[in-house]
A and B are shown apart, each in its own frame.
Chain A
């Protein structure tokens, strides 16, 4: 089957990396289409070699901009691409704007959409990702669900059960395969840190990092802990973080530029606790066995809370301090959610082997 996988962001590449070789081995002709800019791709060069991914065949090279603009541009470019290439199916990944654009563009050309990571819900429609999730799931022909909860969410939204495949979490497969590689996970020693001797922070959502007063609360909460704190930030966010740390006198907070996948996994594994607002870090920490604190009101990865790997926390200094202390003191072992294993890509291949059911009415 001729498949185009649409990727729109770094976390998308992480999800595609374990899947791509499995699809190729199963005889599918798979191409990647990247909706981001070429500059962004080059900047992430080492990141992709870390994942052993070839450059995408289709580079749409779209500009940055507000959500509506980005989605609209991706929609028009993808429609053109799908019209020229006529793939048998399009895989939309996760909850980025590109996934929404791929689904809308594909469905109106009667190309079936396969949604990888279907059915996740935070219940918070003020997150643009939540909007993307519900829309893509209404349009998809095949839903690849990472958790049992996701299967239930889809059922509650009227998605026919024969379209839903509980394949498990592809992020987990990525982590587990990387951990096996001799060069896969780099140690935290390069940064002068010791195993279990620091708190790792990866916070990048606009509603937090874009608001200095909230960032100051978080920095103050982190600064009151006993362990040193390593903050990973995108280059253009280093300054706001440093400002927040200095302003609140959080001397134990160190801010460094973001790191690539293998090193990130090493830092997550060796940390006493991870503090994040990103979706995939919650999942990675759960798989790798490091307690997580999520600085959000809701999460679409509810299963990480249920198993005891993760806890939600408001951007308030006392709450952050307490949540981090609780996380550090918590047990580092929990039951892994079902099908968060190395067989996820196999299950995807099996689901595709039976063919993608066309949408109703075609």
Chain B
């Protein structure tokens, strides 16, 4: 079987990392295409190296832009590539614009789409990712779900159960395979921090960074934290943080440059708590047993809340502070969700080997 795997952004890289070697040893000819949706030479290279991902065969240079420009450009270039290459199936990952573009381009060329991380739902259509998830799942021939909730979500949308495979969370496999490599890595120390003596915060969603009022509430709550807060941010976000009050008046906030995958994982593992608005960090924190506060109104990773690893907080000073206090005092003995283990890539291989059933009419 010849498979083209579409990746476009950092969370995608983390998810394909365990899959590529599994495909290779199973004799599945899988090749990566990087749309270049989020491309930052330094960070992208670190991620590929950290995760030992093979060099993508194609790089499409899509770049940034509005949702439509990014999705449209990726669609046009992927369509050209798929017409040329005619793979047996196209794998798309997660919920970024490249995921949507890959699914649309392939579906219209009658190339079966395999969606890794299918069925997640926040119920919030104002999130562009939710739109991408809904559309991609409708277009997919094979839906690989990370949780049992995801299966129910798909069933409720009329997706035939025969197309759904509960493979588990590949993000978890990435974490579990990487942890032994960083057993003795103390990244916190290089920032002058002690293990379990700091809070790690990542805030990058436009709904938070581009709303000065919300951002200042979040900053104020972090400044109130009973310990140091390490805040890796993209250089683009730094001035926004400063405007929101991060600076001399907030001595416990340590604003630093973004870090690679393995360093980030070590920082999560060693933190007393994590405050985030990202999807992936909610899952990783759950895996490394660090309590998490998610600064959003809803989450598509509901299972992390159900098991007790995560809690939602609206972007208000009091709410975030209370949630952080709750996280810092909570037990970390939660049950890891079902099939969040190191066998996810094997299950994906088994599903693919059983054959991708093309949709009616292909």
Q: Which residues of A contact B (CB under 8 A)?
A: 66-69, 71-73, 75-76, 78-80, 83, 100, 104-105, 107-108, 110, 122-128, 130-131, 134-135, 138-139, 156-158, 297-298, 359-362
**Cβ of B124 and Cβ of A361 under 8 Å apart?**
yes
Q: Assess A108 versus B131: contact at CB under 8 Å? Given A71-B108, A158-B157.
A: yes
Q: Which segment of B70-78, B274-282, B310-318, B333-341 sits at the interface?
A: B70-78
Chain A residues lying within 8 Å of B104, measured Cβ to Cβ, are 68, 71, 100, 131, 135
Tell me whether B184 is interfacial, beta carbon within 8 Å: no
* A68, A72, A100, A128: most-surrounded residue (chain B CB, <10 A): A68
Point out the residue from A68, A80, A126, A158 that lies within 8 Å of B359, measured CB to CB. A126
| Shortest Cβ gap from A300 to chain B (Å) | 12
Apart from A359-B125, A361-B126: 14 A-B pairs, beta carbons within 8 A: A76-B69, A79-B67, A104-B135, A108-B67, A108-B68, A108-B131, A123-B361, A131-B107, A134-B139, A139-B134, A139-B135, A359-B126, A361-B123, A361-B125
Mark interface residues in B98-127 (1 if CB within 8 Å of A CB, else 0): 001000110111100000000000111111
The docked-state distance in angstroms from the alpha carbon of A182 to that of B158 is 47
A298 to B76, CA, bound (A): 29
CB distance from B101 to the nearest CB of A (A): 8
What DSSP secondary structure best describes chain B's contact surface? helix
Selected contact of A126 from candidates B67, B130, B362, CB within 8 Å: B362
Question: Chain A: interface secondary structure?
Answer: helix
Tell whether, in the assembled complex, residue A68 and residue B68 are in contact, meaning their CB atoms are under 8 Å apart.
Answer: no
Query: For this complex, into which size category does the number of interface residues on chain B fall?
Result: 35 or more
Taken together as a complex, chains A and B put the C-alpha atoms of A142 and B264 apart, in Å, by 43
B211 touches A (CB below 8 Å): no
| Beta-carbon nearest neighbor of A68 in chain B | B79
Contact between B297 and A361 (Cβ–Cβ < 8 Å)? yes
- In the complex the two chains form, is A138's CB within 8 Å of B105's CB? no
Taking CB atoms, residues of chain A closer than 8 Å to B75 are 68-69, 71-72, 75
For A66, what are the chain B residues with a Cβ–Cβ distance below 8 Å? 79, 83, 108
A sample of 28 cross-chain residue pairs with beta-carbon separation below 8 angstroms, ordered by A number, consists of A66-B79, A66-B108, A68-B108, A69-B75, A72-B71, A75-B68, A76-B69, A79-B66, A79-B69, A80-B68, A100-B104, A104-B100, A104-B131, A107-B125, A110-B126, A125-B107, A125-B361, A126-B359, A135-B104, A135-B135, A135-B138, A138-B135, A138-B138, A157-B158, A361-B124, A361-B125, A361-B127, A361-B298
Complexed CA–CA distance, A308 and B108 (Å): 32
Beta-carbon nearest neighbor of A77 in chain B = B68
Q: Which residues of B contact A (CB under 8 A)?
A: 66-69, 71-73, 75-76, 78-79, 83, 100, 104-105, 107-110, 122-128, 130-131, 134-135, 138-139, 156-158, 297-298, 359-362
Chain B hits for A157, CB < 8 A = 157-158
Contacts of A126 in B (CB 8 A): 110, 359-362
Most buried by B among A72, A108, A128, A158: A72
Residue among A79, A110, A128 making CB contact with B68, cutoff 8 Å: A79
Complexed CA–CA distance, A362 and B128 (Å): 12
Residues from chain B with a CB closer than 8 A to the CB of A72 are 71-73, 75-76, 79
Q: Assess the A76–B125 pair: CB atoms within 8 A.
A: no
B244 to chain A, nearest CB (A): 24
A360 and B125 contact, Cβ closer than 8 Å, known pairs A67-B108, A76-B68, A125-B359:
yes
CA of A66 to CA of B131, assembled, Å:
24
A297 to B107, CA, bound (A): 19
Nearest-neighbour CB distance to chain A for B201, whole angstroms, equals 24
Residue of B nearest to A66 (CB): B79
**Shortest beta-carbon distance, A169 to chain B, in Å?**
23
Q: Are A134 and B138 in contact (CB under 8 A)?
A: yes
**Nearest chain A residue, comparing its CB with the CB of B362:** A126
Chain B residues with CB under 8 Å of A124's CB are 360-361
What is the chain A residue whose CB lies nearest that of B153?
A158
Known contacts A124-B361, A135-B139; A158/B158 CB under 8 A? yes
Q: Give chain A nearest CB distance to B51 CB in angstroms.
A: 29
Within the assembled complex, what's the spacing in Å between the Cα atoms of A347 and B122?
Answer: 33
Q: Which one of A75, A127, A138, A360 lies within 8 Å of B124 (CB-CB)?
A: A360
Residues of chain A contacted by B67 (CB below 8 angstroms): 79, 108
Known: A67-B108, A138-B138. A75 touches B72 (CB 8 A): yes
**Contact across chains for B126 and A128 when beta carbons are under 8 A apart:** no
Please name all residues of chain B whose beta carbon is closer than 8 Å to the beta carbon of A73 when the two chains form the complex.
72, 76
Closest chain A CB from B71 CB (angstroms): 6
Contact B362 A125 (CB under 8 A): yes
Are B124 and A68 touching (Cβ within 8 A)?
A: no
Q: Is the CB of B361 within 8 A of A158?
A: no
CA distance A148 to B110 in the complex (A): 29
3 tightest CB-CB pairs across the interface, nearest first? Answer: A361-B124, A68-B79, A79-B68
